[in-house]
């Protein structure tokens, strides 16, 4: 009978496993700092759950890569976090951060399961997805208990089923504009919330960054996030709907380095990637023309910001290169 563990890894499996390793090493650095500084004893076990899950993943992946004779990535290490640094983020914000990470983890796990085929890799990503769901359950439950969970707006339930009859349903730039659909509301609400979380993280990073060019880049990100928050909030307010609260007050005034500039830049790059994905999904799910055009106008801005960040990381040798296919031209030339 064929040994399933000897099946060659596909490019998708290599990609998903490599990315998971890098992300988990970054998470370990972040969560370890949060755990060392946490004051709320109800938040502590959730941090321990998340930290143990990431460490378990790294342990599995390290052995997996060695077994496959695949170079173990560097990722991030204890050198990327300063254990003696003062507390930077409030426990309430850390809980919100963990909930947001669980959402990204569930999405990433689902995408990975859609691409991988080797049984041991499938099992690994099933565990990743289950852990992300578990983290979501823990954070949601505690936030609801503590009164910090921000729910999306309530709307009146429909009294009958309707079908779109006129092109007016797509209008949004001129004339009579229809109300927002519940899906459009959800997308706007989520994009406000994720930008607000990102803005708070970026401000904290900017306070503690070491390099001037990194500080300047982060402050530019703060301005972009605030601009997008305002644009999305205006759409909800015009419909007399509430926008999520902003988390700027969840920061201390510490300026002592907590995380390495390399780790902070990677984290911002990850947020940029998630934001681009959110905007693409939002644009596809927003039939009203003004919303689709809004998302379409913001995507290039985030993409350019992400490119500038990548260039900054390359300049400082902070970007670990993902596995690539063979360069056949170079092999032929023999260079």
pLDDT digits (tens, 9 = 90+) for 95-120: 999 999 999 999 999 999 999 999 99
Give the C-alpha separation, 151 to 144, whole Å. Answer: 10
Q: How far is CA 290 from CA 64, 226, 284, 295, in A?
A: 48, 20, 13, 9
Q: Is the pLDDT of residue 83 over 80?
A: yes
| pTM to 2 decimal places | 0.91
Give percent of the chain above pLDDT 90: 79
Residue 43 · residue 99 · CB < 8 Å = no
Give the C-alpha separation, 39 to 335, whole Å. Answer: 57
SS3 81: strand
Alpha helices in 68-118 (DSSP H): 91-115
Structure tokens at 240: 């007399």
Q: Which residue has the higher pLDDT, 201 or 242?
A: 201
Backbone angles phi, psi at 81, to 5 degrees: -140, 140
Of 2-11, 273-282, 319-328, least confident by mean pLDDT is 2-11
Per-residue confidence (pLDDT) for residue 1, from 0 to 100: 36
Phi/psi-derived region of residue 317, left when phi > 0, alpha when psi is between -120 and 50, beta in every other case: left
Q: For the chain, which domains are there? A: 8-146 (1.20.1260.10), 176-315 (1.20.1260.10)
């Amino acid at each position: 009978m064929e040994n399933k563990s000897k099946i060659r890894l596909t490019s998708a499996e290599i990609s998903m496993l490599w990315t998971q390793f890098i992300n988990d090493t970054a998470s370990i650095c972040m969560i370890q700092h949060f755990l060392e500084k946490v004051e709320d004893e109800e938040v502590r076990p959730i941090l321990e759950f998340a930290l143990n899950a990431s460490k378990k993943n790294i342990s599995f992946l390290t052995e997996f890569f060695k077994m496959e004779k695949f170079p173990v990535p560097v990722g991030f290490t204890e050198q990327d976090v300063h254990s003696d640094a003062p507390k930077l983020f409030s426990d309430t914000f850390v809980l919100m951060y963990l909930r947001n990470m669980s959402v990204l983890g569930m999405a990433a796990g689902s995408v990975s399961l859609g691409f991988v085929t080797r049984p041991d890799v499938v099992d690994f990503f099933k565990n990743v997805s289950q852990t992300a769901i578990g983290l979501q359950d823990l954070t949601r439950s505690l936030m609801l208990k503590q009164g910090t969970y921000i729910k999306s707006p309530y709307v009146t339930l429909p009294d009958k089923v309707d079908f779109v009859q006129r092109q007016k349903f797509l209008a949004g730039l001129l004339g009579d504009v229809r109300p927002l659909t519940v899906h459009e509301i959800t997308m706007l609400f989520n994009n406000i919330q994720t930008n607000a979380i990102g803005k708070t993280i970026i401000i904290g990073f900017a306070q503690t960054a070491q390099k001037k060019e990194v500080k300047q880049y982060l402050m530019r990100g703060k301005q972009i996030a605030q601009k997008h928050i305002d644009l999305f909030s205006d759409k909800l307010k015009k419909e007399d709907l509430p926008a999520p609260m902003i988390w700027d007050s969840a920061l201390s005034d510490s300026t002592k380095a907590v995380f390495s500039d390399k780790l902070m830049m990677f984290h911002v790059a990850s947020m940029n990637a998630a934001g681009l994905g959110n905007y693409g999904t939002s644009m596809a799910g927003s039939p009203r023309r003004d919303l689709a055009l809004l998302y379409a106008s913001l995507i290039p801005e985030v993409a350019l910001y992400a490119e500038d960040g990548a260039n900054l990381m390359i300049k400082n040798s902070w970007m670990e290169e993902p596995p690539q296919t063979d360069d056949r031209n170079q092999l032929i030339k023999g260079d």
